[in-house]
Amino acid sequence: MDIKNVTFAYQDGIVRVKDVSFSIAKGKITTIIGPNGSGKSTLMSLLTNNNKPQSGHIYLEGKDLNEYRPKELAKTLAVVHQYNVAPRDMTVEKLVYYGRLPYKKMFQQDRSEDAEIVQWALKVTGLYERRHMLIENLSGGQQQRAWIAMALAQKTPYLLLDEPTSNLDIYYQYDILNLVKQLRDEQGLTIVMVLHDINQAIQFSDAIIAMKDGEIVAQGDPKEIVTKELMQEVYGVDVVIKEDEDIGMYMVPLGV
Amino acid sequence: MNKKIVSMLIVLILLPLAIIYSATTGSIDVTAWELVKGLFTGADENVNIIKDLRFPRIIISLFAGAALAVSGVLLQSVMRNPLAEPGIIGVSSGSAFVTLVVLTFFPTLFFFTPLLAFIGGALAFLLVYSLSWKSGLNPLRMILIGVAINAVFTGFSELLMSSNASSMMQSVSVTHSTLTMKTWNDVQIIVIYGSLGLLVAFFLNAWANHLSLSDATLHNLGFRVNLARFVISVVAVLLASIATAVAGMFTFVGLLVPHIGRTLVGSDHKWLIPFSTLAGALLILIADTIGRTIMAPLEVPASIIMAIIGGPFLIFLLRKSDRIYGH
């Protein structure tokens, strides 16, 4: 995925993404970080084609996002949004079946192939036993897994996650991040996500994109780019960064 | 699964019973057997009167109820708002106003009333939709805007009526449904357009289901959200306008029936739309039958019966609307 000179402003005229360019490596986890209002969610909305760049281009597999037909795009790129709604009486399995929507023609029934893929997605996310439960009866973390399962059922090489760990307790934060890692390793997915927690970003990403005021401040290998200076510049926070033999690199915030 | 089937069966059984009761009860009482016999022989004077006066009324009640209930279901799906209802958000009063204008100033255009009523309904719907779009279709704000639009159109209608006493009779039948004096011509209009709208609505059940997910999610599933919204809205407005043009204004049907439907058969539109069709038909028929028998020989308009039942129900719904659709 290649992003070339992308600029975007909402109707209020404030430019949220300024002339941003970067590439996303295939089969890797790329994480976008940055303070509130840095434009990371806006950038995500551009990558997911929910907003269109005012200038610049986003290429997916060499083809401009604008040239994709809606279903074709949905077969290439799946998204788990930050806020999700489902009807109260929808079961997990039924939700996951929505992932097959891009493969269906109008009024077409589910085929056996769809059933197999839904089953696979439920198993990968560990929800197979709970497939007949109602979404609203699942815990927050399991709900997040259900939405990921729906995205997996789209059978896309790309998976984009907007703040997949926000509003989850620490157990499920790591539970979801482990699942994301597993999807990269076992399914070979290219993953782009937005995270708030820097340590999680360091731990789970192959590449980090740090944003501030709509611009990219640094991008690359977390070990190289996450520095005391960068944290000061991006977040205005004093940190110490340590390297530990067992747990690798980590950051401790000290104050503002 | 069981609850769904039982609920469907109950309305399926109650509906013919209500039709028979309604057809045989009133200022002229006949037995069901006399009715059937009279219909075949054509010799029974009483049955012939019933056929000309009561049958159109029954058929119109059935179709108006079905159309308004399904219109409510569709509007609720499109607006993601359990309180959206053609009566409350002004679609019906928009239709009624335009119908009234036509009947008052251009009586010769009578046969275009369905079309003109549709334009009126669509206008009201567009106003509510575009005015509440900015607030992210916030449920309560949308209802407030709907109430305002409704008041404006109702006001215009009243203005027209008070400034033009000669057409008073016709006017009243548009703004307050009395369902009296309906002819087979009216039946024809509502049966043709009503069946068409209901049929399309059945086929749109999957789309209506999809709209329970967020726009962004649907967009990333390759689903054309705006196209689906547009088509479903057109059908919803068509159903509400036809019902209003022929049977007059009813509020709450489109609120009451879908809500009961959701608790009985669930939010899957594959079940909800057929259920609402039957239950809506049943509800208006019962309301009209009660209305014309309870204080006979005086008639209480069916819409008034509906308002008396529906008002308290709306308050009840408002109190628990937070839980519906997860808002």
Paired sense of beta strands A207-212 and A215-220, if any: antiparallel
Both structure tokens of A126:
């560990």
Range A235-244 contact pairs with CB under 8 angstroms and sequence separation of 24 or more = A235/A35, A236/A35
Domains in chain A: ranges and CATH: 1-76+158-256 (3.40.50.300), 77-155 (no CATH)
Å from B161 to nearest chain A CA? Answer: 44
More confident residue, B4 or B164: B4
More confident residue, B319 or A228: A228
pLDDT, chain A, mean: 92
For the cut 60, the answer to whether the pLDDT of residue B176 exceeds it is no
For the cut 80, the answer to whether the pLDDT of residue B92 exceeds it is yes
Q: B53-89 burial, b if ≥16 CB within 10 A, otherwise e?
A: bbbbbbbbbbbbbbbbbbbbbbbbbbbbbbbbbbbbb
User: Which of A50, A89, A101 lies at the smallest CB-CB distance from B222?
Assistant: A101
For the cut 90, the answer to whether the pLDDT of residue B324 exceeds it is no
Q: In this predicted structure, what is the pLDDT of residue B32?
A: 78
More confident residue, B29 or B138: B29
**Predicted complex ipTM:** 0.90
The whole-number average pLDDT for the span A173-196 is 94
Both structure tokens of A235:
């977040």
Task: Mark yes or no for CB contact A89/B267 under 8 Å.
Answer: yes
Q: With contacts defined as CB-CB under 8 Å, which chain B residues touch A86?
A: 212-213, 326
Binning pLDDT at 50, 70 and 90, where does residue B326 land? very low
pLDDT, chain B, mean: 84
Q: What is the pLDDT of residues A213-226, one digit of tens each?
A: 999 999 999 988 99
More confident residue, B143 or B175: B143
More confident residue, A256 or B225: B225
Domains in chain B: ranges and CATH: 57-321 (1.10.3470.10)
Among B221, B225, B232, the residue to mutate for chain A (most A Cβ within 10 A): B221
Task: Mark yes or no for CB contact A101/B210 under 8 Å.
Answer: yes
Q: Is B210 on the interface with A (CB under 8 A)?
A: yes
Q: A50-78 burial, b if ≥16 CB within 10 A, otherwise e?
A: bbebeebebebeeeebeebebbebbbbbb
Nearest chain B residue to A100 by CA: give it: B221
Distance from C-alpha of A17 to C-alpha of A10, rounded to nearest angstrom: 10
Binning pLDDT at 50, 70 and 90, where does residue B318 land? low
Q: In this predicted structure, what is the pLDDT of residue B111?
A: 74
Distance from C-alpha of B59 to C-alpha of B186, rounded to nearest angstrom: 10
For the cut 90, the answer to whether the pLDDT of residue A188 exceeds it is yes
Binning pLDDT at 50, 70 and 90, where does residue B251 land? confident
Give residue B157's region: left, alpha or beta (phi > 0; psi -120 to 50): alpha
Q: In this predicted structure, what is the pLDDT of residue A176?
A: 94
User: Which of B210, B222, B326 lies at the smallest CB-CB distance from A88?
Assistant: B326
Q: Is B172 on the interface with A (CB under 8 A)?
A: no
For the cut 50, the answer to whether the pLDDT of residue A94 exceeds it is yes
Q: With contacts defined as CB-CB under 8 Å, which chain A residues touch B206?
A: 107
Which of these ranges, A125-134, A138-147, A208-217, B306-315, has the smallest mean pLDDT? B306-315
Q: In this predicted structure, what is the pLDDT of residue B320?
A: 65
